[in-house]
Homo-oligomer: A and B are copies of this chain.
Amino acid sequence: MKLAVLASGYGSNLQAIIDATKRGVIDGRVVLVISDQRDAYALKRAEKHQIEARYLNPKNYASREDYDSAVIVLLKERGIDLVVLAGYMRLLSPVFIDAFPGRIMNIHPSLLPSFPGLGGVGQALKYGVKVSGCTVHFVDENLDTGPIILQEAVPVYDDDTEESLHQRIHSVEHRLYPKAIQLFVQGKISIEGRKCIIHER
């Protein structure tokens, strides 16, 4: 299976995914990394692993749809089976969703539907929850609302800072995201309504 990862920043989840493909935790290969940020360290990580790394400048496109269409062309040309968002800071247009139905995943640093959108970790701390976590879900046309594949809880401590909580959540993400991707690769996920059923044999 061919995976593409879209990332805007540091790419720590991208790294976890690449490592998982090398170790055989994911039976697939990352063949393409796309970023909307020229300086995204995620692009460097791709290059280090001889993975095609592409920067597409949003300023060169008139609309979000135009930009997404250019991304879609690349994804289709490379025969991508699954699109993995890893800290990709752009909302996908319906054009994108329709081009890869049920084949776009995202990870979010909260137990959705709590604290969607930007700054999920900070939102959780501010609210004062005692349990947070992370969520891997399929992407639909709305923000962080798609069918949930996997979730895992993480404790929140009274003396947590945004950084300490983020770190705790990140370390779970780096295990949970590869696991969800492998379930997809193995054909073990079916979507029924807005529920994901996991078929473990």
Contacts and interface: CB of A to CB of B under 8 A. Distances in A.
Interface string A119-136: 000000011111101000
A130 B158 contact: no
A92 interface: no
Scoring A113, A127, A128, A149 by chain B CB atoms within 10 A of each residue's CB, the highest score goes to A128
Nearest to A149: B130
A1 interface: no
Give how many copies assemble into the complex.
2
A50 B119 CA distance: 51
A147 B128 contact: yes
Contact of A195 (B113, B115, B128, B147): B128
By Cβ-Cβ distance, the 9 closest A-B pairs, closest first, are A153-B153, A128-B195, A130-B151, A131-B151, A114-B114, A158-B197, A128-B194, A131-B153, A128-B148
Nearest to A145: B127
A197 B159 CA distance: 9
Interface of A: 111-115, 126-131, 133, 147-153, 158, 193-198
A156 to B, nearest CB: 8
A151 B124 CA distance: 13
A152 B131 contact: yes
Contact of A198 (B129, B151, B158, B193): B158
Contact of A148 (B129, B147, B148): B129
Contacts of A115: 113
A126 B195 CA distance: 8
B127 A111 contact: no
12 contacts: A111-B131, A113-B114, A114-B114, A127-B148, A127-B194, A128-B147, A128-B148, A128-B195, A131-B133, A131-B151, A131-B153, A158-B197
A130 B113 contact: no
Contacts of A151: 129-131
